[in-house]
């Protein structure tokens, strides 16, 4: 008799994790929202075990925080956090771009061009979750290519906050293709082999994003990507 393969609970918890991550990124679970394990399990049609595992991983990634007597809540994203994040990125990424521009390879060009195509496809669908993932992959590939392992590791640790700030850009950019065009420009500058230009380009890119994001925190209504608002109407 052929043995049946057991269904992996870890796979199920990963699917729960992905769904929760997406709803957090899109603002459908707003900052400060309490997440109750039993309620989530009931809504998702699963047992509590995979939900518990997913919540633990999301807390480790920084999407959630644990509060006494409240359990898991969606981690707020404040203007102070955004400002600090971009201070860190401005310290870490310009040297990375300078280094990569000095030794830019065809292999990296192909990798970044492929990521840009993914960004373009996501932008055409107004799929900000996929756009965020591709955006992160673009910057991660450049960091790895710089052969600065400590810097690359630090940027990986910031990916959760970076992802949430990129999602916020959905309320600022009237057309997500503008974000694709900005990254296309970054690739072109890297490929030019001019370190000073590459360093200046990423610095300008980050400063512009920081200015727009900090200005958005002055709005009275919460910042939610435009396609999410359309879905809710």
At 168, list the tokens: 């916020």
List pLDDT tens digits, range 85-141.
999 999 999 999 999 999 999 999 999 999 999 999 999 998 888 898 899 999 999
d(CA 102, CA 51): 46
Considering the chain, what is the average pLDDT of its residues?
A: 85
Question: Which pLDDT band, with edges at 50, 70 and 90, does 231 fall under?
Answer: very low
At 73, list the tokens: 């809540």
List pLDDT tens digits, range 39-80.
999 998 999 999 999 999 999 888 899 988 778 999 888 889
Residue 33 to residues 41, 77, 79, 125, 204, Cα–Cα distance (Å): 16, 12, 18, 28, 34
In percent, the amount of the chain with pLDDT more than 90 equals 54
pLDDT number for residue 133 = 87
Q: List the domains of the chain with CATH numbers.
A: 10-74 (1.10.10.10), 79-221 (1.20.120.530)
pLDDT number for residue 72 = 93
Residues paired with residue 71 on neighbouring β-strands, in sequence order: 67
What is the mean predicted confidence (pLDDT) over 168-197? 90
Kindly give, in sequence order, each residue whose CB lies less than 8 Å from that of residue 102, ignoring residues fewer than 6 positions away: 193, 195
16 neighbors 46 (Cβ within 8 angstroms): yes
In percent, the amount of the chain with pLDDT more than 70 equals 88
């Amino acid at each position: 008799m052929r043995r049946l393969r057991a269904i992996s609970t870890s796979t199920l918890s990963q699917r729960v994790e992905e769904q929760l991550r997406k709803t957090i990124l899109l603002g459908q679970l707003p900052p400060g929202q309490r997440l109750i394990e039993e309620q989530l399990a009931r809504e998702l049609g699963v047992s509590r075990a995979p939900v518990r595992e997913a919540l633990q991983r999301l807390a480790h990634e920084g999407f959630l925080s644990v509060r006494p007597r409240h359990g898991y809540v969606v981690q707020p994203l404040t203007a102070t956090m955004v400002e600090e994040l971009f201070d860190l990125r401005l310290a870490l990424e310009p040297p990375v771009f300078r280094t990569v521009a000095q030794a830019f390879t065809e292999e990296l060009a192909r990798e970044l061009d492929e990521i840009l195509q993914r960004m373009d496809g996501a932008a055409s669908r107004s799929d900000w979750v996929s756009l965020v993932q591709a955006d992160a992959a673009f910057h991660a590939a450049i960091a790895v290519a710089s052969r600065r392992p400590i810097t690359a590791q630090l940027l990986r640790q910031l990916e959760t906050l970076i992802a949430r700030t990129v999602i916020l850009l959905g309320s600022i950019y009237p057309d997500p293709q503008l974000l694709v065009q900005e990254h296309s420009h970054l690739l072109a500058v890297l490929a030019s082999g001019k370190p000073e230009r590459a360093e200046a380009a990423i610095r300008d890119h980050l400063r512009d994003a920081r200015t727009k994001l900090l200005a958005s925190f002055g709005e009275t209504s919460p910042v939610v990507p435009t396609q999410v608002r359309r879905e809710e109407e």
